[in-house]
Structure 1
């Protein structure tokens, strides 16, 4: 049990997947970032579960889910979320993704629009090339071996304590260090390090992010989208939110002051209000194959916003 909620397990394609499922109401799928797990959402799960069915998985290779030699691409993760929802008997969701999970959320909405009612991305990857050098470092040769040394018991305890001390001091530069400490501690597991390296290499190279939604952002015309960012984000710059405003003008963008890369942790009450308002103020997307086909054919020029009858 974590955060007062039971962690459940289900085996899909031979791999055990961990998840939390709690609450009643419309379904929210909460997707965590790189090297994190479902516990990143602990500050908001209880309140959100009062209005929603909250599903917060540990993505494959993370947390208490298995860490096999497997497909760690963004598309592979989207497929995994479809399969998890199918096993759980959940047909449609509002998908909320943080950081790398935002990229998975966007891919899920792209691959499975018929199962996506709304899309919210939080400090998301996939909206620009820039990313913290620490993320790029994961992809470099020697990362696995170096972290193996740094996470030996004595060094790991000192490192975790130092990061948490800096986080307690406060300030823009160190506000996210408590979560960094949790990630660093998790790297004591060689399987977690290998999985994280595989994931990072699928989306980042030495120049920065290599996966983008820019060429498909126009598809959000057919789906409610809300983008949330912390103004003081040092991992993925908040100015990436401006990319959304240019590429997906129908999306709503909200930048939260005095928040870093984890705005749902820095301001959980505000974050929950944003999610609640998003669901309350928007109608669920209704998938139309004909409309989707029209959007794809017209590209960024896009189709009219009036509903298109599905005659396919």
Structure 2
């Protein structure tokens, strides 16, 4: 695991290296880059795959106390990460979280050549569904977040609809989920960072304004959406494909939100095919 110092703090990232096209994979709340492991193992021979662990609760190094960990701040942090690594012609690949759209709405997208959106937050669906609302309730209660993270040590809680049961159709290996949840379970400073994010979401009107600003992104976009998703509405996939001028929609069966876990074969094949498509003229 490599590290880079950003304005918010030190961020871990995995980099497969190589001279192939650059894919930067973005994951969601209390999830690290291992959610992409089955996708990356299929793509790494031909692509340079980079997976930052952004400060969304699965990060192992606490951020600076005064770091801007709002949705806006973390969206812009993606752009800072690309700049610090001097990456160009990047395809951003996102799951669960909605930070890439925030970067496109508010930040410098000159390093972003294309965008792949698997099921993720969009429009005003922040935080998403029952799991998102459950986190919101937990952070509002003194000690609630710490208690929630302790409860997530148990399989029954992980498969409950209000926790992770609606995030993936198939159980995720215990060691993988243990790694996701350990930082926020064991380090109060990581919980502090997670709380800062979850308590600073803007009003829905602002979220919708940011979504509309994505209409100006004139580069290729692939929307891979799960038709059975219980957290990210199916209609959002279609709306995203209509929002971007050069977007294509592919709906995927037999998957919930965590498509890299449920259908890594489909995700990898779709990214490979998308990357081989001719650029927008």
User: TM-score of the superposition, structure 2-length normalised?
Assistant: 0.81
Q: For residues 47 and 195 of structure 1, what CA distance do their matches in structure 2 show?
A: 33
Task: Give the deviation of 1:258 after TM superposition.
Answer: 0.6
Q: For residues 195 and 10 of structure 1, what CA distance do their matches in structure 2 show?
A: 18
Query: 3-state DSSP class of the match of 2:101?
Result: helix
Alignment of 1:69-80 (within 5 A): 69=65, 70-80=67-77
Task: Give the deviation of 1:9 after TM superposition.
Answer: 1.2
Q: For residues 72 and 127 of structure 1, what CA distance do their matches in structure 2 show?
A: 20
Matched length: 267
Alignment of 1:96-245 (within 5 A): 96-100=93-97, 103-110=98-105, 111-129=107-125, 131-140=128-137, 142-143=140-141, 145-152=143-150, 157=153, 160-163=154-157, 175=169, 178=172, 182=178, 185-188=182-185, 189-203=187-201, 211-212=207-208, 213-220=210-217, 222-245=218-241
Runs (4+) of structure 1 exceeding 6 A deviation are 171-174
> Counterpart of 1:41?
36
Cα gap change, 1:77 to 1:149, in 2 (>3 Å): closer
Q: Give the conservation status (yes or no) of the 8 Å contact 1:28–1:53.
A: yes
Q: Give the conservation status (yes or no) of the 8 Å contact 2:2–2:14.
A: yes
Give 5+ residue unaligned stretches, structure 1. Answer: 1-6, 286-306, 308-312
Give 5+ residue unaligned stretches, structure 2. Answer: none
Q: Give the conservation status (yes or no) of the 8 Å contact 1:9–1:16.
A: yes
User: TM-score of the superposition, structure 1-length normalised?
Assistant: 0.74
Alignment of 1:271-310 (within 5 A): 271-283=267-279
Cα gap change, 1:123 to 1:138, in 2 (>3 Å): same
Task: Give the deviation of 1:20 after TM superposition.
Answer: 0.3
Q: For residues 276 and 167 of structure 2, what CA distance do their matches in structure 1 show?
A: 35
Higher RCO (C-alpha 8 Å, min separation 6): 2
Cα gap change, 1:237 to 1:210, in 2 (>3 Å): farther
